[in-house]
C-alpha cells in the first residue's frame, strides 16, 4: 500500500516510544514479530493519520490473534471510524469487507443490519451485507432477505444468502432480476445460475480434488476471470486433450468453484491423454472476490503451451 513516508515515520516513532521495536511495515508483513503489541496497535488504529494507515494497522492487529476482549475493542474501534465517516466508501470498503467482516461477533447482527439500511452510508451498505453473511445467524439472515430487495444491496445480499443455503434465495434472485431499479444484474444472474445448478444436480462427490502439492518443474498458465467466463475456459481446456477432461470433469470443476468462499483455494488433479500419451494436468482455482477467480493450470510444457494458445482467444 502507498502511504507517505512522513506518516510512516511518525507512526514508527509512535510505536518506538511505546516500546514496540518493529516498524509498521515489519508488523504488517511479518505477523510473528512483536506478538504482544495488540494493545498498542488498537490505540494506534484510533489515532492513525490516514485511512490507508488504518487498514495496515488493522491487518497487523488481527494477524496477531488478539484475545476475545481485544478483538471486541478493535471491532468497536472500526465501527466508530465507520460511523464518523459515513460517506467515505472508497476509504472504508476494504476495512469493512476484510477486518470487520472477518472478526465481527454474532451479537452485532442488529447493529450491522440497521447500518445496512441507513442511506447515509451509500454504497458501503452493500459491503455491510458481507458482514451479515459472515455473522450468518437467523437475525443476520433476516436482514439479508430485506437487503435482497434493495437496489444498492441486492447483489451482495443474494450472494450471501446463496452461500448460506437460504431456501428463499432462488425466488429473491428472480424477483431482483425483474426489478428495473436493482443494480448489478450480471452478478445476480450468476448467483441465480449457481443456485439452479445446485438444485438440479445430484449429490456430487468430488473425485479429483487433492491436497497433493503441484509437482515442481511443471509449466504454468494462469488468468483472472469471473464466474461467467469459467465454463468457456474449461471447454477450451477440453479441446486440448483427447481424454480425461470431459463434461463430468468440467461439471465437477464448476461445482467446486461454486462452493468456494472468498480467499479459499481448491486444487484438482486430472489424468488426461494428450498426443496419445497419458499425463497429469493440475487445475488450481482461488476465489479472489465474490464471483471472481484466479485459475491456474499446471502440466507438461507442450500441453500447457497448447492450452495457452487455445485459451488466448477466450480472453481477448
CATH number at residue 16: 1.25.10
In a domain, 307, yes or no: yes
Query: What is the model's pLDDT at position 205?
Result: 61
Q: How many domains in the chain?
A: 2
Output Rg (C-alpha) for the chain, integer angstroms.
23
In a domain, 205, yes or no: no
Query: What is the model's pLDDT at position 316?
Result: 64
Query: What is the model's pLDDT at position 243?
Result: 95
Whether residues 72 and 167 share a domain: the answer is: yes
Whether residues 133 and 55 share a domain: the answer is: yes
In a domain, 214, yes or no: no
In a domain, 290, yes or no: yes
Q: Could you say which of 151, 167, 200 is where a domain stops? A: 200
Whether residues 62 and 185 share a domain: the answer is: yes
- Would you say the pTM of this structure is higher than 0.75? no
Domain that holds residue 154: 5-200
Whether residues 159 and 276 share a domain: the answer is: no
Domain at 242, CATH number: 3.30.310
Whether residues 224 and 193 share a domain: the answer is: no
Q: Which residue positions in the chain have pLDDT lower than 70?
A: 1-4, 201-205, 316
Whether residues 126 and 92 share a domain: the answer is: yes
Alpha carbon separation from 19 to 23, 37, 204, 316 (Å, rounded): 11, 9, 55, 53
Amino acid at each position: 500500500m502507498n502511504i507517505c513516508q512522513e506518516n510512516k515515520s511518525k507512526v514508527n516513532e509512535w510505536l518506538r516510544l511505546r516500546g514496540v521495536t518493529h516498524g509498521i511495515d515489519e508488523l504488517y508483513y511479518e505477523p510473528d514479530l512483536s506478538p504482544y503489541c495488540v494493545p498498542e496497535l488498537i490505540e494506534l488504529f484510533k489515532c492513525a493519520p490516514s485511512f490507508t494507515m488504518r487498514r495496515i494497522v488493522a491487518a497487523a492487529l488481527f494477524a496477531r490473534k488478539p484475545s476475545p476482549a481485544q478483538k471486541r475493542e478493535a471491532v468497536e474501534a472500526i465501527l466508530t471510524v465507520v460511523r464518523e465517516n459515513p460517506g467515505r466508501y472508497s476509504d472504508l470498503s476494504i476495512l469493512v469487507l476484510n477486518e470487520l467482516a472477518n472478526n465481527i461477533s454474532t451479537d452485532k447482527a442488529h447493529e450491522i443490519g440497521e447500518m445496512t439500511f441507513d442511506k447515509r452510508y451509500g454504497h458501503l451498505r452493500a459491503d455491510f451485507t458481507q458482514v451479515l453473511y459472515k455473522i450468518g445467524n437467523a437475525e443476520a439472515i433476516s436482514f439479508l432477505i430485506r437487503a435482497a430487495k434493495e437496489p444498492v444491496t441486492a447483489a451482495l445480499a443474494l450472494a450471501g444468502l446463496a452461500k448460506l443455503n437460504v431456501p428463499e434465495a432462488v425466488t429473491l434472485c428472480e424477483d431482483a432480476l425483474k426489478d428495473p431499479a436493482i443494480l448489478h444484474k450480471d452478478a445476480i444472474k450468476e448467483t441465480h445460475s449457481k443456485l439452479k445448478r445446485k438444485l438440479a444436480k445430484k449429490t456430487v462427490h468430488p473425485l479429483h480434488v487433492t491436497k497433493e502439492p503441484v509437482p515442481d518443474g511443471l509449466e504454468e498458465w494462469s488468468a483472472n476471470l469471473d464466474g461467467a467466463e469459467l465454463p468457456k475456459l474449461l471447454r477450451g481446456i477440453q479441446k486440448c486433450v483427447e481424454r480425461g477432461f470431459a463434461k463430468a470433469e468440467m461439471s465437477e470443476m464448476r461445482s467446486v468453484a461454486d462452493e468456494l468462499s472468498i480467499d479459499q483455494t481448491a486444487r484438482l488433479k486430472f489424468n488426461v491423454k494428450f498426443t496419445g500419451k497419458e499425463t497429469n494436468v493440475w487445475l488450481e482455482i482461488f476465489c479472489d472476490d465474490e464471483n471472481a477467480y484466479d485459475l491456474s493450470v499446471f502440466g507438461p510444457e507442450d500441453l500447457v503451451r497448447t492450452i495457452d494458445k487455445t485459451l488466448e482467444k477466450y480472453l481477448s
